[in-house]
Amino acid sequence: MADIDPDQFIITRKRKKYKFAKFANAQNCFEFDEWRQRDEHGRAHIDVVEIGAGTGLFVVELAARHPGRRFVAVDVKADRLQKGAYEAIERGLDNVYFVRARADQIDQLFDAKSLWAIWLTFSDPYPKKRAAGRRMTHPTFLAKYQQLLAPDGGFYIKHDNPDFFKWSLEQLVATGWTIDELSFDLHESNLSDDYKILTTYEQRWLGEGRITQFARAKHLD
Ligand SMILES: C[S@@+](CC[C@H](N)C(=O)[O-])C[C@H]1O[C@@H](n2cnc3c(N)ncnc32)[C@H](O)[C@@H]1O
């Protein structure tokens, strides 16, 4: 095993603490309970949510392009979310928020039938069969998205893992969703430029020949 440099360890922990402090101090960042306690005006009228958003830089760019809509980036990691939060502040955007919460809590964060779009980008694929329940396109998660989306609202997914993407499409179809936009190579398609905004993960791997697959699904119940 490689030697652990204790100084480096301390620096790393400190850096993480610093990022947590930045999250706590930003006016556009919320812990799960804080978000839940916001008054109806603060919490309502959210249009677009990204789950497992990482840095949230994808929704920051969407928010800049669509100032009339309100966006939320959700992730469990505050040190990642704070990056998008400070970018939004720097760009003077007041229509995007950052909430530290778990994906399974999503139905406690927003009103039923209220969202115009839910985005899932490059979520952890959990390739082992026994971990399928943790995939964010498992039917238990899809049921929550269905509950939150407004009539005609869309569930948007981008991924570079063909097995995960195919499995996700199968779950969607099996649970009554209609796939109305689909590309197995998004960046070569003529679909909306908004979809092609690069996430942090996508930016890192696209140059290495990975291909982004994309689908939009609606549940017409
Ligand atoms: C591979 S990264 C992708 C991040 C981002 N969507 C992107 O494309 O750059 C997966 C993200 O999902 C988050 N995540 C994993 N499990 C989660 C959960 N149960 N609830 C919320 N976020 C989760 C991780 O913290 C991580 O930031």
Catalytic annotation present for 124: yes
Ligand 1 centroid to residue 88 C-alpha, Å: 19
Of 5, 94, 124, 180, catalytic: 124
Q: What is the mean pLDDT of the chain?
A: 92
| Atom of ligand 1 minimally distant from the CA of 57 | 9
Residue boundaries of the structural domains of the chain: 25-218
Residue bearing the CA closest to ligand 1, atom 23: 52
* DSSP single-letter state for residue 97: E
What is the rounded average pLDDT of the residues 20-45?
Answer: 83
Q: Given ligand 1 and candidates 104, 122, 159, 195, which is best to mutate, with the most ligand atoms within 8 Å of its CB? A: 122
| pLDDT score for 9 | 55
* DSSP single-letter state for residue 98: E
Tally of residues, the chain:
221
| Distance (Å, whole) CA 145 – CA 183 | 21
Ligand 1 centroid to residue 57 C-alpha, Å: 13
Instruction: Report the CATH fold assignment for 25-218.
Output: Rossmann fold (3.40.50)
Instruction: Assign 156 a pLDDT band (cuts: 50, 70, 90).
Output: very high
Ligand 1 centroid to residue 18 C-alpha, Å: 20
What is the rounded average pLDDT of the residues 205-219?
Answer: 92
Assessment of whether the complete model's pTM goes beyond 0.85: yes
What is the rounded average pLDDT of the residues 109-119?
Answer: 95
* Spatial contact of 46 and 115, defined as CB atoms under 8 Å apart: yes
| pLDDT score for 45 | 87
| pLDDT score for 7 | 57
* Spatial contact of 108 and 49, defined as CB atoms under 8 Å apart: no
Residue bearing the CA closest to ligand 1, atom 10: 123
Q: Please report which residue ranges of the chain form alpha helices under DSSP H.
A: 6-25, 32-37, 40-43, 57-65, 78-90, 139-148, 162-174, 200-206
